[in-house]
Structure 1
Amino acid sequence: MPLVNVVHGDKLPAAPLNLRVPSWRVPGWAMAAWWIGKGLVSTTVFLIRHWRITGPAATVGYLLHEFGPLGTGAIAATVAVSLGGWWRAHPASFWRFAGFPAVATWRRVWVYRRGWLAAMTTTGLAVTVNGDRYIPRLVKVRAHEHGDDVTVRLVAGQHPDDWAKVAARLAYTFRARAARAVQHPKRLDRVVLQFRRVDSLLRTVAPFPVPAVANLAALPVAKRETGGVWHLRLTGTHVLIAGATDSGKGSVLWSIVSALAGSVRAGLVQLWAFDPKGGMELAAGAPLFARFSFEDPDAMAGDLEDAVKVLRRRAAALRGRARQRTATVEDPTLVILVDEMAALTAYVGDKKTRDRIKDALSLILSQGRAVGVHVVAAVQDPRKDVLPFRDLFPTRIALRLTEPEQADLILGDGSRDRGAICDLIPVALPGVGFVRLDGSPEPHRVRFSFHTDAQLADLAAAYKPEVTA
């Protein structure tokens, strides 16, 4: 409706409001200088940021100018021969300083950067605010023998868990076998995407050498996905091993037994074995065991109650004197091995015997760590109605599981989102599982060593206790 003025009843058109915006005239030479300076700065930043590409290109250009095509070709051939000789003479240093940096540059440009915008958009990691789209910045790519570590700067409001939830989709996008997202060790505003292109755990892991005296704080039991050995800390903890049928729980148990065998022979460690399935799994190591129960539930309950007596005697001896104990031949560390925990806690027919077993295990799990009584137990079903004291196992190992939710039951909430895809471990890879390292919320993939029947027989014969209980 048009504005009007009313004067003595007459309607007059309103005069338009005249607003003058102040303006400044910028000379043309100043604008030109501004754009030239901005272009020079942008070009310099680009050349410095992509020095692995611009440096060799500039070098080639200089050589062509100075020596021509023939001279440049001769220099290139000399460099190629030198690199080949370096690779043959010392492959480790070649790949560290030349090979992997070149691969990282190639993949950053032709693999990640080309599909970065589409990947961020389709996975929901790109953020739109008031029509402006913000894309997480690709900061760095580091290549190694197992794949790539891609460092990304987070957009404001993002959390590493947001990336962990879409890590599997990013792996498919960038043609990797697997991927997971972890917090950058130094920068809180960055996340590291670990893309695995080579599976180093496809081959069976041979048994590790048996230490003369076991270091309970670092037992060599498995190979890590990134190379090297994963050491299990048994000091001050109990260990729960969860896995479906034929997932390799026996490999974990025997890897631990093998790592302890030297101290078993020396009398510093005693193994009490419980095999409710009739002794089929643990019978091969019978000479190593101070006690071996496999048939009678009542006898198993009695042995566990004897372990409680050992626990109480040691606690009384240490009370008021020390908070940590040292194993001796007279008073060795006691390790209780259970092949199928559910057969003891849920499947024993006699209720009275079952209650005795539960009471003894509850005491051992809650009080045994400080006095050198440790439980290493395997279970197929990790639900609480089957294993009511699951939370009393500080150290947990998750092998192949049947349901996605079970990874979180074993390793903690959010573990599957962080990469512990236990339900997707192939049946053909027994002994492969996920563990958590001390101080790290991210699960790590490992494979435990495998012992043949002949190797177990040799182990039992070579390391049977010199001092009997």
Structure 2
Amino acid sequence: MSSQPSLVDELWDSLVTAVIAAAAGLWWLLRHPWLLGTVLVVAGVIVVGGWTAGALVLGFTVAVIAGLRWLRPDLFARLVSRPLRRAQTGSRYRRDWGRVTDLCSLTKELDGRTLRPDLLRVDVGDVSDRLLLRMVTGQSLADWERACPELASSLGGHLARVRADEPGRLWLEVIRDDALADVIPARPTSTSDEVDQVTVGVREDGRPWVLRLLGTHVFVAGVQGAGKGSVIWSVLRGLARPINSGLVQVWAVDPKGGMELAFGRPLFTRFACENTAVMVELLEDAVTVMDARCGRLAGVTRMHHPTTDEPLVLVIVDELSTLTAYEPDTKLRNRATAAISALLARGRAAAVVVLAAAQDPRKEVVSFRSLFPTKVALRLDTPSQVDMVLGDGMHQMGALADRIPAGRPGVGYVTVEGIREPVRVRAAYVTDEQIHAQTLDYPAPTAVAAALAVDGGDPQ
């Protein structure tokens, strides 16, 4: 004869089930602070004003949120959905942190204890998140750099990289959404006369990619079709007003016979594409301008700030290796190399800036890459080429330019002087129609300015 459960047993089982359910519900609420806050507010209203008041408050809140979602989706996103997503994402990072560090081999064992890196802070952004960590004793930044692929997949991102903070601490950046997946449309023509900070595209965190020009030189490398033209034309578009006002002079060299740059000829104060001799003469004239300006500024300033009388001279060389490696005439090749080397060595302080592009970044092709403080690696063929362009160890630090899909021109990695970590970016795409419109609306002043600049004199 089987025994039947007693009433006490049934009550006990029901009590245990209720406690477990309540604990699980409380734990779920603690993991969703926004909902916990709502529950506490409604409960407080019920305690003070009764169930009717609580129902009215809850109904009113739901109606307001629904109306906001329908009538003002932008405001709903800013006030409700984005804070909610940030809270959920931050909670997920903290909940999964121990398991992720264990599985990615980022823990240490000491005296039978497992030492894990501390998660100090979580900053959740629109497309990427930043986690501030305290490393375990015995770890280095290199340990985390090697684990970035595993960390990215474990934390729900498609890319992860680390950046140094202070000794013993680092920032782990997790890229969740690819802000660079789609073509970046060209920005409206700027109405500013700013010549230093030029917006040329978007960074992987969704912020504008601002390229510094004053006090630097820029080297852009990438295989054919990687988007070098997007970088060049985006720079020119960002300088539309200064070019038109004479605050910037663009001296352009196109060894492709004008195939790339001739379309924007009215934007250039000087332009050479006919043959190597003419292009080398333009480069040597730029050296003359630089030397004359350095002589006038000696003892006056260490960094020239452009004016319409002493403008920034931007020397654009579309395919650098054509002049410095592939030119069959040894004398012309040596003259081109000497002129470019002189500009790179002394032009920064005099506001004579070189923006050069190349398909082949090998040392024997571009022997003076180290003289470019700002480097951009678009799609390349091999990891070694990435390090050739950006510097040793950049591929390991996350500059995976060799893995950029062929269908994403303008995507690349940039390094700037004084900042160790590379940044993933995408240059905007400037259409032929936009270039043509700029040549009509913002052409460079007459070429008389160039002749005066070379002579270093005044109009008679």
Query: If the TM-score is normalised by the length of the shorter chain, which range does it land in?
Result: 0.7 to 0.9
- Would the aligned equivalents of 2:373 and 2:416 in 1 still touch at CA under 8 Å? no
Instruction: Report the alpha carbon displacement of residue 132 of structure 1 after superposing the two structures with TM.
Output: 2.1
**Offset of residue 317 of structure 1:** 1.8
Structure 2 residue aligned with 1:106, among 82, 88, 99? 88
Residue 253 (structure 1) shift: 0.5
Aligned match for 1:316, one of 295, 301, 304:
295
Compute the displacement of 1:88 (Å): 5.4
Match of 1:169 among 150, 153, 159: 150
- The corresponding residue for 1:79 is 61
Matches for 1:45-444 after TM superposition, within 5 Å: 75-87=57-69, 95=77, 98-109=80-91, 111-113=92-94, 115-184=96-165, 188-212=167-191, 214-436=193-415, 439-444=418-423
Moved more, 267-276 or 250-259: 267-276
Worse-matched range after superposition: 286-295 or 391-400: 286-295
Q: Aligned-pair distance for 1:72?
A: 5.7
Corresponding position of 1:447 = 426
Alpha carbons 1:152, 1:190 under 8 Å: kept: yes
Question: SS where residue 420 of structure 1 aligns?
Answer: coil
TM-score when scaled to structure 1? 0.80
Q: Deviations over 1:417-465 (max 9, x none)?
A: 3332211211111111222366532222222111112221221222222
Q: Relative to structure 1, is the Cα distance of residues 211 and 63 closer, same or farther in structure 2, using a 3 angstrom cutoff?
A: closer
* Alpha-carbon distance between aligned partners in 2 of 1:238 and 1:418, rounded to the nearest angstrom: 23
Asked if 2 retains the 8 angstrom alpha-carbon contact of 1:267 and 1:467, the reply is no
| Deviation digits for residues 221-256 of structure 1 (CA, Å, limit 9, x no counterpart) | 112222332221111111101111111000000111
In structure 2, the residue corresponding to 1:396 is in which secondary structure? Answer: strand
SS at match of 1:270: strand
Change beyond 3 A, Cα 1:136–1:86: farther
Distance 1:326 1:127 in 2: 53
Q: Look up the match of 2:454.
A: none
Write the letter of the residue equivalent to 2:178.
D
Query: Judging changes above 3 Å, is the alpha-carbon distance between structure 1 residues 141 and 373 closer, same or farther for their aligned structure 2 residues?
Result: closer
Report the CA distance shift for 1:104/1:130 in structure 2 as closer, same or farther (over 3 A): same
Q: CA distance change for structure 1 residues 63 and 395 in 2, over 3 Å: closer, same or farther?
A: same
Deviation of 1:161 after TM superposition, in Å, equals 3.6
Note if contact 1:398-1:435 (Cα within 8 Å) is conserved in structure 2.
Answer: yes
What amino acid does structure 2 have at the position aligned with 1:158? Answer: Q
Q: Please identify, of 242-251 and 292-301, the stretch whose mean Cα deviation from structure 2 is larger.
A: 292-301
Residues 5-55 of structure 1, C-alpha deviations (whole Å, 9 max, x = no match): xxxxxxxxxxxxxxxxxxxxxxxxxxxxxxxxxxxxxxxxxx999966765
Deviation at 1:388? 0.7
Instruction: Provide the residue aligned with 1:18 in structure 2.
Output: none
5+ residue gaps in structure 1? 1-46
> Is the Cα–Cα contact under 8 Å of residues 225 and 445 in structure 1 kept in the other structure?
yes
Q: C-alpha displacement at 1:274, in angstroms?
A: 1.1
Unaligned runs of 5+ in 2: 1-28, 449-460
Is the 1:277–1:295 contact (alpha carbons within 8 Å) kept by the matching residues of 2?
Answer: no
> How far, CA to CA, are the matches of 1:225 and 1:319 in structure 2?
41
Contact in 2 for aligned 1:154/1:191 (Cα 8 Å): yes
Aligned length: 421
Identity of aligned residues (%): 38
TM-score (norm 2): 0.81
Of residues 55-64 and 333-342 in structure 1, the stretch that sits farther from structure 2 once superposed is: 55-64
Equivalent-residue separation in structure 1 for 2:43 and 2:416 (angstroms): 50
Distance in 1, Cα, partners of 2:444 & 2:356: 22
Matched to 1:318, the amino acid is L
Alpha-carbon spacing, 1:76–1:142, altered in 2? closer, same or farther (3 Å): farther
**Structure-2 change in CA distance of 1:53 and 1:165 (3 Å):** farther
Shift of 1:308: 1.5
Amino acid at match of 1:106: Q
Return the letter of the residue paired with 1:170: L
SS class of match (1:371) = coil
Give 1:177 shift.
2.0
Question: 1:310 and 1:449 mapped to 2: Cα distance?
Answer: 32
**C-alpha deviation, 1:78, in angstroms:** 3.2
SS in 1 for 2:190: coil
Residue 168 of structure 1: how far off its partner (Å): 1.9
RMSD: 3.0
Q: Mark the CA change 1:62 to 1:464 in structure 2 (over 3 Å): closer, same or farther.
A: closer
Query: 2:320 & 2:411 partners in 1: Cα distance?
Result: 20
Q: Is the Cα contact below 8 Å between 1:137 and 1:153 reproduced in 2?
A: yes
Is the Cα contact below 8 Å between 2:270 and 2:447 reproduced in 1?
A: no
Distance (whole Å) between structure 1 residues aligned to residue 36 and residue 69 of structure 2 = 24
Q: Is the 8 A contact 1:211 1:262 kept in 2?
A: yes
Preserved contact between residue 126 and residue 136 of structure 1 (Cα < 8 Å): yes
Q: Distance in 1 between matches of 2:326 and 2:355?
A: 19
Q: Distance in 2 between matches of 1:292 and 1:444?
A: 32
Asked if the contact 2:379/2:411 (under 8 Å) is kept, the reply is yes
